[in-house]
Amino acid sequence: MNRDLDDNLIRGCIEWDRNAQNMLYEKYASQMIAVCLPYSRNREEAEDTFHEGFMKVFQNISKFNGTGSLEGWIRRIMVNTAIDKYKKNSHLFIVSIDEYPSAMDRYYSTDFLSNDGAAELFEMIQKLPPVCRMVFNLFVFEGLKHREIAKKLDITEGTSKSNLSHARSILKRKIFENFEYLEKKAAPDGRKQ
Amino acid sequence: MEENSEIDRLARKASELLKTNVPDSSWKRLEAELDKQQAMRYKKQTGRFRLLSICLALLLISFMFYHFLVPTSVVINVGDISGKKITALQVDHYDIHSKHSAPDLNTSTVSNDQSVHASPPNDVTKKDIGRGKSMNTEIKNHQVQNVQRQYVSKQNVPRKNAMLTQSTVSMPDKNSASPKKAQNENANIIHESSVTLKSETPAIGIAETGSDNSILITEPGAEVSEGDGHGTALNQMQIDPGRNEKITDITSTVTVPADQDTSATAESKKGLMQKLFAEAFYSPEHSWIHLRDVSDDNKGIQEYYDREKFISAFTAGANVGYSLHQKIDVATGFHYSERKYSMTYPEIYVGKGFDGDLHYQYPTSWGIVEKPNTGNRVLHDGDTLQKTISCTQSIKIISIPLMIRYRLGGKKLQMYCSAGMSANFINHAIMNLRIGNIEGMIERNIDGLKPLYFGYMVSIGFKYHLIGGFSVFAEPVFRGSLNSVVENIDIKSYPHSAGLNAGINFQPGSCK
């Protein structure tokens, strides 16, 4: 039934039916803005990416061939729009791994995350250096391999790996600094409890 | 590594938990951009159609000009240039025997074209006379062709004929030759002359041996000169047996004054006129609309059919056409149509229009008519006006058709069938309202109505020739639409109509 609804929406959008376009927007807007947030430096940039991405969705909806879900297709467009935006303003930023203290002995529970915590974490991701942010998002949220990330961002696999490592280091440090309710969990065998 | 995966898991969890609000302005911003894109798409579509129309119009015009410029058959009689003053110098170039009127020539007759046909006397043997050969020579554009003609002079030409002969040999230095001398000089002489025919237009030049052994040369399209003038094509030249002709280059041209417009020129003009026609018509019609539901909640279209009733419709216009072929015509024109419907609304809702503001809305098959809120009342989305409202909606359309017609039948009564397409511009839309005792009018305030839609038409017609180039015709016609006249609302609307075109057709070429 969901598929039928999507088919109707797609048909309407192909004919530039404003009602259908509005319905598609209402259905996927909040999910897609959340997709755009980690790829952007701030809320405004995320909304720009979101706006551009949706325009591309409406202009190219006739090219959706039904393979996979409509949500997945729209998500891919949003991510690609963010990558294009990044490439226009890209500059490599290598963070020296020595800058940030190792937090190897820290274990973090995901239980602390609430909506506020999630928003704060997203802000931390947004504040990452651009290339680190892009690599981290593509690896963690899109599940791409380093080879694929390197191809998308026109970097080498090695650069992709090092930037992912840097992104994680920075996030660990920031989480350590900002989340006061984190508990250090230490088990004799190092496993978290 | 485990810690790294922990960070990744944390980030993914955050992504799932995060609830983001999308600002209201975001859709408005998107909508504004979509409006721009839509306008550009329409511009492209109409631009393409405009280009196609221009190309088709140019094709039609150039086709007509081509036919106009190319003469069909051009034959000018010798007599048409008779009486012109020819200088002695030019006499060599041409021979005109149209002035001859010698009634004492018992062997000759004066033709309508003032040429003189002289039959050979019986005592002249066949082998000596008329040894001209028939040849059909096709002279193509810009081609120069040498034509050899041979003339055999008569032996023992009687005195009278000798005089005739002498009088038409226009060589100043030979005019003192006595007939006898001329006779002797001319006896058994085969004169050869070469003629260079130069034609700028496709033409056929024919030289034939007539039954009286004269040689007739028809050279339509060739150029001839006379005096200072430049003129039209060459004429028919009758060269009688025994005549000595000296024909040199006749590549110069002759001016034929307008009042002596030849039958050949008239012939070519007549050919073009026969191909053109113009007509005017009026067609009362019955109109109906085919609706398709495209709403998400399947509101249905039955309420539209229940609410709307057809009142009247008509189409009037003019067409101009051109006959491509014996049986096929193409035509275009200018049509004006008006369609009227009545609607009754038991209640009216307030809704958000395309401009984002709240209006009383009257959904119709031709778009959503919006009554602007001119009162002090504050409207809310979903408000209802519980009053029965009667309306009359009038739509005015201008159409530019392109049609192909296939003709059958004879000269007096003809049958034809035609088919075509049209670009229909919705010129004006008015709704007259009556709420109780209050009347109002809403003009040009319709959401969703396209300014242009495309249609098709098919018809079968009967044409009866009256007098001159005038005919009357009657033509049952069906008109439909190829695309919806509305967009961005819950329905797609396809208007159709059936009518009877009746009118007058004028074809200049049919005038007697």
How far is the alpha carbon of B22 from chain A, nearest alpha carbon, in Å? 6
Task: Give chain B's mean pLDDT.
Answer: 64
What's the pLDDT band for A9 if we cut at 50, 70, 90? confident
Q: How far is B355 from chain A (nearest CA, A)?
A: 13
- Given CB atoms, is A94 within the 8 Å cutoff of chain B? no
Contacting residues for B364 by C-beta, under 8 A, at least 6 apart: B304, B308, B341, B343, B393, B431, B446
pLDDT at B6 over 90: no
**pLDDT value of position B283:** 95
Averaged pLDDT, B495-506? 94
Judged by CB atoms within 8 Å, which residues 50-89 of A form the interface with B? 50-51, 54-55, 58-59
Among chain A residues, CA nearest to B491: A17
Please report residues of B whose CB lies closer than 8 A to that of A114: 17
- Kindly determine whether residue B488 and residue A19, on different chains, have CB atoms separated by under 8 Å: yes
pLDDT of residue B269: 55
- Please give the mean pLDDT across all residues of chain A: 79
The three-class DSSP label of residue B286 is: strand
Query: What are the chain B neighbours of A176 within 8 Å (beta carbons)?
Result: none
Mean pLDDT, residues B359-379: 73
What band does B237 get if pLDDT is binned at 50, 70 and 90? low
Q: Give CA–CA dist B282/B340, Å, rounded.
A: 17
pLDDT of residue A57: 93
Contacts of A34 in chain B (CB under 8 A): 15, 18, 20
- Greatest Cα pair distance in chain A: 64
Residue B3 with chain A: CB contacts under 8 Å: 103-104, 106-108, 172
Among the listed residues B457, B439, B447, B346, the one whose alpha carbon sits nearest the alpha carbon of residue B399 = B457
What's the token pair of residue B504? 């007058």
Helix (H, G, I), strand (E, B) or coil at B73: coil
Comparison of pLDDT for B126 and A112, the residue scoring more: A112
Chain A: give the shortest CA distance to residue B73, in Å. 56
pLDDT level of residue B422 (50, 70, 90 thresholds): very high
**What pLDDT is attached to residue A191?**
40
- Predicted confidence (pLDDT) at residue B479 exceeds the cutoff of 80: yes
CB-CB neighbors (< 8 A) of A113 in chain B = 10, 13-14, 17
And the tokens for A90? 């890209």
Higher-pLDDT residue of B251 and B51 is: B51
* Residue in B22, B41, B295 closest to A30 by CB: B22
State the nearest Cα–Cα gap between A133 and chain B, in angstroms.
Answer: 12
Written as one letter, the residue type at B376 is N
Is the CB of A118 less than 8 angstroms away from the CB of B17? yes
More confident residue, B123 or A40: A40
Higher pLDDT residue, B453 or B435? Answer: B453
pLDDT at residue B272, rounded to an integer: 67
pLDDT band at residue B487 under the 50/70/90 scheme:
confident
Average pLDDT over residues A29-46: 89
What per-residue confidence (pLDDT) applies to B282? 96
Q: Tens digits of per-residue pLDDT, A102-156? A: 444 344 444 555 566 778 888 889 889 888 999 999 999 999 999 999 988 888 8
CA B411 to chain centroid, in Å, comes to: 21
Please say if the pLDDT value at position B160 is more than 90. Answer: no
Question: Least CB-CB distance to B488: which of A17, A30, A104?
Answer: A17
Tell me whether strands B348-352 and B384-385 are parallel, antiparallel or unpaired. antiparallel
pLDDT at position B364 is 83
Which of A17, A37, A127, A174 to mutate: most B Cβ within 10 Å?
A: A17
ipTM: 0.76
**Spatial distance between the Cα atoms of A152 and A149, rounded to a whole number of angstroms:** 5
Q: Which range has the top average pLDDT, A111-115, B59-63, B281-285, B450-454?
A: B281-285
User: Which tens digits make up the pLDDT trace of B270-308?
Assistant: 566 678 889 999 999 999 999 887 765 555 677 788 888
Distance from CA of B7 to the nearest CA of A (A): 7
**Partner-chain contact B10 A108, CB within 8 Å:** yes
Q: Hey, are the CB atoms on A168 and B9 less than 8 Å from each other?
A: no
Least confident of B112-126, B166-180, B347-361, B402-416: B166-180
Min Cα distance B446 → chain A (Å) is 16
Which one of A5, A37, A110 has the shortest CB-CB distance to B10? A110
User: Is the confidence at residue B493, as pLDDT, over 60?
Assistant: yes
